[in-house]
Amino acid sequence: MSMKGKVAIVAGGARDIGRAISLKLGAVGAKVVVNYHSSKAEAETTVAAILAVGGTAIAVGGDMTKQADVENLVSKTIAAYGDRIDVLVNVVGGMVARKTLAEMDQGFFESIMRLNVSSTFLTSKFVSPFMREGSAIVNLASLAGRDGGGPGASAYATSKGAVMSFTRALAKELGPRNIRVNCVCPGMIATTFHDTFTKDVVRANVAASTPLRREGQAQEVADLVAYLASPAASFVTGASVDINGGLNFS
């Protein structure tokens, strides 16, 4: 899984799963661009951790739902590492709030689509022209995109289902250029996402009903992402890979 000398952008790479992915890619030799929006301090901590073990990394701020910010991310990457990008990982996304259909208005629904789907579209659109043969895009979807999510998560689940469909479409479109596109569908992972949006009793019940009897860890997701981004997965594209401890089988 060596990625020595390759250039990797992790959109939303400052904290939680994004940080674990940034650290993993740095550990296997990639030159990492850690994108952040509101998490500047966390991004700087992530970069410092990569540098501390002899890796190469920079932090670039920007809102990935805005074209100008995405273009700036690309230009900063090119300026730092040269005219190539080998890996794009799209971690940007979120639930924002749990709302039922009755509670949602059009603005809220569309804001979730922008956050989770438009961000993936924009980064893919503006990064892919700089990708060479053998490059890879890895998107972050969710178990919610397969099973509809929990109470009040219909907008989030819909957006993550769209990410999976977009992944399959891009795999067909970019395949002739030998650019692979896959996505990862995490289940219950111990992150601030669930600290914020999932009650402790629900987390405990989910863990108890999972065949492996626990929540997953961000590092485990990062290991899977690194595999899909690496030459070791050279014949894997268009896949939506589950990582949920056996809670759901697709």
Tokens 């397969």 identify what position? 146
CA distance 10 to 80: 15
**Other residues' Cβ atoms within 10 Å of the Cβ of residue 80:** 14
Tokens 């759901």 identify what position? 248
- 36 as an active site residue: the answer is no
CA distance 81 to 49: 19
- Angle at which helices 16-27 and 218-229 pack, to 10 degrees? 50
Using CB atoms within 10 A of its CB, is residue 146 exposed (0-12), middle (13-18) or buried (19+)? buried
Catalytic residue (choose from 36, 81, 156, 227): 156
The backbone torsions φ and ψ at residue 104, rounded to the nearest 5 degrees and listed phi first, read -80, 145
Q: Sign of dihedral through CA atoms 217, 157, 38, 58?
A: positive
Q: What is the dihedral of CA 204, 206, 212, 217, to 10 degrees?
A: -80
List all residues 6 or more positions away from 22 whose beta carbon is below 8 Å from its beta carbon.
10, 13, 14, 32, 34, 46, 50, 57
3-state secondary structure of 236: coil
Q: Catalytic residue positions?
A: 156
